[in-house]
Structure 1
Amino acid sequence: MAKLPIDAEKIIAQYGPSLHMPNKEAIPGRDEPDSIIETHCCFCGMQCGIKLLAKNNKVVGFEPWMEFPFNEGRLCPKGVLRYMQNNHEDRLTAPILNKPGVGFVPISWDEAMDSTISEIKRIQSQYGNDAFAMLSGVSLSNEKSYMVGKFARTALKTKNLDYNGRLCMVSAGAGNKKAFGLDRTSNNYQDLEKAEVIIVTGANVSETFPTLTHWIWKARDNGAKLIVVDPRMIPLARTADIHLDIRPGTDSALFGAILNYMVQHDMLDHDFINNHTSGFEEAKEAVKDYTLDWAEDITGAKKEKIEEAAKLWGKAATSFLLHARGIEHHTKGVENVLSCINIVLASGRIGRPYCGYGTITGQGNGQGGREHGHKCDQLPGNRDIENPEHRKYISQVWGIEESELPGKGLSAYEIIEAIHRGEIKGLISICFNPLVSLPNSNYVREALEKLEFYVGIDFFLSETLRHANIVLPGSLHEEEEGTVTTAEGRVVRIRKAVDPPKGAKTDTEILLEIARRLGAADKFSYENSEDIFNELRVASKGGTADYYGITYDKIEKNMGVFWPCPDLDHPGTPRLWEDKKFKTPDGKAHFNAVKYHESGDPIDEEYPIILTTGRVVSQYLSGSQTRRIGKLVHQFAQPLLEIHPKLATQYGINQNEEVIVKTKRGEAKFPANIVETIREDTVFLPYHWPGKKSANQLTSGHLDPISKIPEFKVSACSLQPTGKIVEVNKFSEAYKSS
């Protein structure tokens, strides 16, 4: 089987400059760019190094950045084509007003700003400051993420700020804080290379993080055993030593049974447990009845395979456990994460070379974006907004009284619920497309229509922004200087390649202007992105996500710096916990007692099948960017319902037949893709499309009580064939061959 990650250098050598210089004959000199900019991809948390080629203030192509240490020039299908959005005809180049009965019409910046400020002041004076909310995106740089948090609380003066990382990393973040007191992958990914056993659970690495696959293959080349846990036989599972095809929502049962097996067969690091952890007895007691037979009954995976996986993990000398949204998008997402951490701590294999644990960050700056303050419960440096000492410190940095700093607000989906209740009347968003990415999308649409005023900042008119009163044209990744933090915890530089198109502004300029007009100019007097980063450094100092010792110059010289980096002489921390000093109050890593329980939307007679959702290789999140790149659309043009042949036969469903999928939220039609690579009791839909193609018409608003993450991965559904065979464009020839 061919590997999915694309080696950009080989492709360019094979196909020539035309790959990254399309139509160069039509533009004389286009094959001689004005500049070549070393920067990073705008998509997933890998943040692969890439060189962008700029000509006449346009990004016209790319070259591999072979020297960047993580991806070494490799790029996935999205990374290869990411430059094409820069010249897209859909770019917003003027503020637009949604005029009743007419639609969107261009207006001047002054008119857009005057109306925005007027409506913010009207709503807040009439209903209170918290009646105006803000939703932000995690593809923003660290500088913009930090500024959004400060903007919402000191200029907009609302507590109701949250971000689309609420749909991504928050269960992992809460679990990491409970166990370690700090939220970051423990090692850089090069440590995978010499791990004897690797567990990948709830992470379709080959499609969603293709360049990470390289480090897993390196380990396999060195003889590593690979265990993949997923209800589908994802590409990575096809080469695994063990594939545990568990029923969606039973993750904590599986890992609880593995922990119990380790206890019963004394596969424990007693020295590490006794000297560096707490809570082991309680965790052990919680799973004492979790036998292999019980685990097979609950998870649907064969007990022999579960036992083999437990043996491999328990006996390994070095190991790495990786997980992503598959175990986190649940009403018990935090518990699932903690059940994984429990078997890592029981083995003692953390804080050592080639021994690690980590969450694979889904969004472009999902790591840095969840550290610097645009979460409803968080302040910069990953501080707690309800902690008096944390509040006092950040208030001093921002030059306000602690009493002026709003408290904890509502999470993203709770903001939608509050709009329905009439508590929130106005909204500002930046780079967030909740109509596609939040669950129960019809409910979200109704909320957007109830708002008295909605202003959005983005570079394309997303499905959500079609419901806005005013849209302000912002900037792409490559149009501002800044930093992001990779899934490894490596802070890297985003370099400006071009200016925004005429008529658009940078996101930073827009936020600074709104802040100025709201009377907070004295708190936002930055000359450039580096000024914002330097304030971020001070704001993070002493927090668990400490960036104080990181500077632009230091990042440049080292191709990135791993946080925590508490002072200028500190080299950064590629591998955590080597000193065994955890960031918990007692300085120890914490086991947590985890008991299995059912998901929030269990199957029943009316809805007897499990619907689960996820990504495909050529699309990204809500698709606002990737659905505008033709070659990516050609690879996967529409959502297909993956269904096992036995289940298809049971319901009389044929290949490419349109099927009605129904849940308690509603129903939608999708073409069937009959495959043997999924459980017989489960169907799968990718979620990158809007409207009638949206998988999130069907998902529930059930939330994890701790992290407030929605339960995208388990929805009880029913199926009904329509008898209509439809034409589908499933994959391009290139994708078929891989």
Structure 2
Amino acid sequence: MRLIPTIPYLYEHAAADGGGGVATALVMETQCPFCSVQCKMRLTESGDSAAGEVQYSVEAKPNRASEGRLCVKGMNAYQHAVSEDRILYPLVKRDGQFERISWEDAMALIVSRFKQIAQESGVDAIGLYGGGSLTNETAYLLGKFARVALRSKYIDYNGRFCMSAAASAGSKALGLDRGLTNPLSDIALAKCIVLAGTNVAECQPTLMPYFTRAKENGTFIIVIDPRETGTSKLADLHLKVRPGMDAALANGMLRSLLDEGLVDEAFVRERTRGYDTLRAHLMEQSVEEIAVMTGVPADSIRRAALTFGKASTGMVFTARGVEQQTDGYMAVRNLLNLVLLTGKIGKAGCGYGAITGQGNGQGGREHGQKADQLPGYRSIENPEHRAYVADVWGVDPNELPGKGVSAYEMMEKAYEGEIRALLVMGSNPVVSNPNASLVQAAMERLDLLVVADMFMSETARSADLILPVTAYLENEGTLTNLEGRVLLREAHRPAPGEAKHDWRILCDLAEGLGRGTYFRYEHAEQIFEELRLASRGGTADYYGITYDRIRREEGVYWPCPDTEGEGVGRMFETSFAHADGRAELIAVDNHFPAELTDEAYPIYLTTGRVLSHYLTGVQTRRSHTLASRDFESFVEMHPKTAKQYGLAEGKLAVLTSRRGEIVVRCRITRTIREDTVFVPMHWGDSQNVNVLTNQALDPTCRMPGFKVCAVSIRPFIANPSYEM
């Protein structure tokens, strides 16, 4: 047995395997690559790989977030990393077919085409598209690569579709965006919890014990969701809201607080601004009218408000159900109004949480891969911010480009020809964007599409060049979980074939572009050391966090400006992050969805996740265990809806919107509203639900309205007796 230098993990050797060979066991301390809890685990790989006899065992490890739990995705995450479907070598498309190419030739091709396109059409003709599952180091470097190596303003990422509404709302209302304003341990102290548009049971299942413990302590749980889910089974009160009407529902609750005198007047006067305007707006609201708009009985709206208002402690959590709307920003602002009017923030058992979806959805939105952002949550349009980061990078601030556009708007610019080349890293935009048919066409119109991925994703199929990247077991780096705790993911498994770390690919490209002097890193920790400096003094300040400190403390909360001081677990105990120390209240109108039902499209479609899959399924569909649990997509509908449209359990249905159509199998359940159907987001091609979804964007955060569009439904075959 020998210890790998500098890494406290073992590569064990056993003498005999019964056949004269040498059996080995690689023990890896790692963490799940999927959701934002980032559960820790120990993975053991044993057996004789040469003989094809390799076994894997997974053991959950105690840690402060998951408390030693793993869900089915985490238990089987290794399966995609060791899959035979991994792309092992760079591939170039010639005459419509992919062929192996050397790294040297692949880099030369990209550099040559980037230079040509920049010369012909300007530097902004090249775009970068990142992801919320990339490490902090890669997300940071992607932003730096766009601004320093390419000097292009066009960079954004798939986290735009995950956290942008909550991030914008938190920044505007509280002065700072961090997923949870308080530690997960506070959940058990809350006497009332509102779960709005979040299905924790399927999306972050290892968090569920926090809520079940709260329930055992007598906590009253309110769930806001058009569907009954594993999460809603915990609810004492389920508000089955009409899709897209969350902001209006919150107005009804706020008006009820005023009517019952449940506003914390002292807190509001001392620690907020905008109350008088908000109060005047709420006095014009009618709970009865809001009940008609939302489909939630007035008595239920009042009961929810009174329960939350009277509780001594309380928390509100939101997720994509509220946020993925064309008024998602305002809907979250109104739920923050609920928190602020009752003074339930900045103390034990109180706070707001946007439950992050992607593994690094929190860290991925802090350090520069958003269109308008520089590291540390700085603004690319703020001269002081630009000057500080430019100094860290060793460039002139005037060299840095201005802000670009959001992720979907980049797809539109590719379709229109303004963006001619695109580098996609850690994302699958053909499946994750709304109006996916236009996105597919945009990819095919590009002069150059380069995709860095582990697998042949739906986007990679359209690529001119595919670059193989390392998986989570092979690529070290930090990730920031949903409560703002920065974690270190160690990596020990050798990269298969010729796969490279994503950050290494960026460094190599920068070298070819003549900007290599700004990208001289030998390992991920060097990148993190620069990130610390670049974030110093920013809203998301990581300066006090180091790899050694993370190892010692099992993660460190940001903001952490001092290497000797503690990170902040509970935010806003004495003041908010605005210059005046106050939170901002705002009046929110009763918004209706951007697309309403009509005679041609009479049903609302909403989308979401299932327990066994993650995002667009590129990784989880390569896991035989996870794929066997849900091997195809489906449409969930009420029995009365199914009967009305001639559908039945297990039969294929055609769903059509104003943008396209898909074919999926029916699941009949009484747990969903009669005017609504649900389709998960994890499949592509003929089952890609985003072929249907509306490309309309929230005017503030540019979030697409994934959660509401109008569709029609019909049987796939007129005579169902012939259906296979």
CA shift, 1:84, in A, is 1.1
Q: Is 2:342 the counterpart of 1:347?
A: yes
| The one of 594, 613, 618 aligned to 2:588 | 594
TM-score under structure 1 length normalisation? 0.93
| The one of 28, 32, 48 aligned to 2:39 | 48
Partner of 1:712: 706
CA shift, 1:551, in A, is 0.8
Partner of 1:532: 527
AA paired with 1:279?
Answer: G
| The one of 120, 136, 140 aligned to 1:142 | 136
**Equivalent residue pairs, number:** 702
AA paired with 2:84?
Answer: E
Partner of 2:488: 493
| The one of 210, 228, 232 aligned to 1:233 | 228
Partner of 1:17: none
Contact 1:49–1:72 at 8 Å: present in 2 too? no
CA shift, 1:727, in A, is 12
Structure 1 residues 29 and 723 mapped into 2: Cα distance closer, same or farther (>3 Å)? farther
AA paired with 1:155?
Answer: A
Partner of 2:543: 548
| The one of 556, 566, 570 aligned to 2:565 | 570
Q: Is 2:654 the counterpart of 1:660?
A: yes
AA paired with 2:688?
Answer: S
Structure 1 residues 247 and 57 mapped into 2: Cα distance closer, same or farther (>3 Å)? farther
Cα distance per residue 1:357-408 (max 9 Å; x no partner): 1100000100000000000010000011111111111111111111100100
Structure 1 residues 25 and 515 mapped into 2: Cα distance closer, same or farther (>3 Å)? farther
AA paired with 1:510?
Answer: I
User: Partners in 2 of 1:491 and 1:253 — Cα distance?
Assistant: 36
CA shift, 1:499, in A, is 1.8
AA paired with 1:610?
Answer: Y
Partner of 2:409: 414
| The one of 675, 685, 702 aligned to 1:691 | 685
Cα distance per residue 1:491-523 (max 9 Å; x no partner): 001101212112111112211100111111111
Q: Is 2:108 the counterpart of 1:114?
A: yes
User: Partners in 2 of 1:285 and 1:48 — Cα distance?
Assistant: 46
Cα distance per residue 1:163-205 (max 9 Å; x no partner): 1101100010000000011101101111101111111010111
CA shift, 1:558, in A, is 0.8
AA paired with 2:31?
Answer: H
Partner of 2:168: 174
User: Partners in 2 of 1:390 and 1:83 — Cα distance?
Assistant: 40
Cα distance per residue 1:517-548 (max 9 Å; x no partner): 11111111112111111110111111110011
AA paired with 1:45?
Answer: S
Structure 1 residues 125 and 244 mapped into 2: Cα distance closer, same or farther (>3 Å)? same
Partner of 1:33: 25
Cα distance per residue 1:446-466 (max 9 Å; x no partner): 101100111111111111011
AA paired with 1:341?
Answer: L
Contact 2:42–2:61 at 8 Å: present in 1 too? no
Structure 1 residues 724 and 569 mapped into 2: Cα distance closer, same or farther (>3 Å)? farther
User: Partners in 2 of 1:28 and 1:304 — Cα distance?
Assistant: 73
Contact 1:548–1:566 at 8 Å: present in 2 too? yes
User: Partners in 2 of 1:594 and 1:28 — Cα distance?
Assistant: 70
- Find the residue that maps to 1:646 and give its secondary structure: helix
Partner of 1:14: none
Partner of 1:127: 121
| The one of 191, 200, 208 aligned to 1:205 | 200
- Find the residue that maps to 1:477 and give its secondary structure: coil
User: Partners in 2 of 1:203 and 1:343 — Cα distance?
Assistant: 17
Please list, as runs of the form range in 1=range in 2, the aligned pairs for 1:184-195 lying within 5 A after superposition: 184=178, 185-195=180-190
Partner of 1:647: 641
User: Partners in 1 of 2:606 and 2:260 — Cα distance?
Assistant: 34
Q: Is 2:218 the counterpart of 1:218?
A: no
Q: Is 2:454 the counterpart of 1:439?
A: no
Contact 1:135–1:427 at 8 Å: present in 2 too? yes
CA shift, 1:131, in A, is 0.3
| The one of 358, 361, 377 aligned to 1:363 | 358
Contact 1:484–1:491 at 8 Å: present in 2 too? yes
% same residue: 43
Partner of 1:10: none
Partner of 2:470: 475
Q: Is 2:372 the counterpart of 1:377?
A: yes
User: Partners in 2 of 1:679 and 1:458 — Cα distance?
Assistant: 38
AA paired with 2:43?
Answer: L
Q: Is 2:253 the counterpart of 1:261?
A: no
TM-score under structure 2 length normalisation? 0.95
User: Partners in 1 of 2:526 and 2:239 — Cα distance?
Assistant: 49
AA paired with 1:645?
Answer: P
Partner of 1:401: 396
User: Partners in 2 of 1:141 and 1:690 — Cα distance?
Assistant: 25
Structure 1 residues 249 and 441 mapped into 2: Cα distance closer, same or farther (>3 Å)? same
Contact 2:22–2:48 at 8 Å: present in 1 too? no
Cα distance per residue 1:28-81 (max 9 Å; x no partner): 886x623332x2110011111112224589895344344211112211111110
AA paired with 2:40?
Answer: G
AA paired with 1:36?
Answer: M
CA shift, 1:657, in A, is 2.0
Contact 2:47–2:55 at 8 Å: present in 1 too? no
| The one of 333, 336, 349 aligned to 2:328 | 333
User: Partners in 2 of 1:337 and 1:650 — Cα distance?
Assistant: 35
AA paired with 2:25?
Answer: P
RMSD: 1.9
Q: Is 2:621 the counterpart of 1:630?
A: no
Contact 2:479–2:486 at 8 Å: present in 1 too? yes
- Find the residue that maps to 2:696 and give its secondary structure: coil
- Find the residue that maps to 1:53 and give its secondary structure: strand
Structure 1 residues 582 and 104 mapped into 2: Cα distance closer, same or farther (>3 Å)? same
Q: Which moved more, 1:66-75 or 1:53-62?
A: 53-62
| The one of 159, 165, 168 aligned to 1:165 | 159
User: Partners in 2 of 1:710 and 1:26 — Cα distance?
Assistant: 58
AA paired with 1:179?
Answer: A
CA shift, 1:725, in A, is 5.0
User: Partners in 1 of 2:611 and 2:589 — Cα distance?
Assistant: 34
AA paired with 2:326?
Answer: T
Partner of 1:735: none
Contact 2:610–2:680 at 8 Å: present in 1 too? yes
Contact 2:248–2:590 at 8 Å: present in 1 too? yes
Contact 2:484–2:558 at 8 Å: present in 1 too? yes
Contact 2:255–2:287 at 8 Å: present in 1 too? no
CA shift, 1:292, in A, is 2.3
Partner of 2:149: 155
Contact 2:606–2:676 at 8 Å: present in 1 too? yes
Contact 1:321–1:358 at 8 Å: present in 2 too? yes
AA paired with 1:498?
Answer: R
Partner of 2:12: none
Contact 2:415–2:443 at 8 Å: present in 1 too? no
Contact 1:64–1:74 at 8 Å: present in 2 too? no
Partner of 1:3: none
Partner of 1:388: 383
Structure 1 residues 309 and 113 mapped into 2: Cα distance closer, same or farther (>3 Å)? same
Contact 2:537–2:561 at 8 Å: present in 1 too? yes
Structure 1 residues 44 and 561 mapped into 2: Cα distance closer, same or farther (>3 Å)? same
User: Partners in 1 of 2:199 and 2:723 — Cα distance?
Assistant: 23
- Find the residue that maps to 1:515 and give its secondary structure: helix
Contact 1:164–1:432 at 8 Å: present in 2 too? yes
AA paired with 1:181?
Answer: G
User: Partners in 1 of 2:418 and 2:251 — Cα distance?
Assistant: 41
Gaps of 5+ in 1: 1-23, 730-738
- Find the residue that maps to 1:358 and give its secondary structure: strand
CA shift, 1:271, in A, is 1.1
Please list, as runs of the form range in 1=range in 2, the aligned pairs for 1:57-96 lying within 5 A after superposition: 61-96=56-91
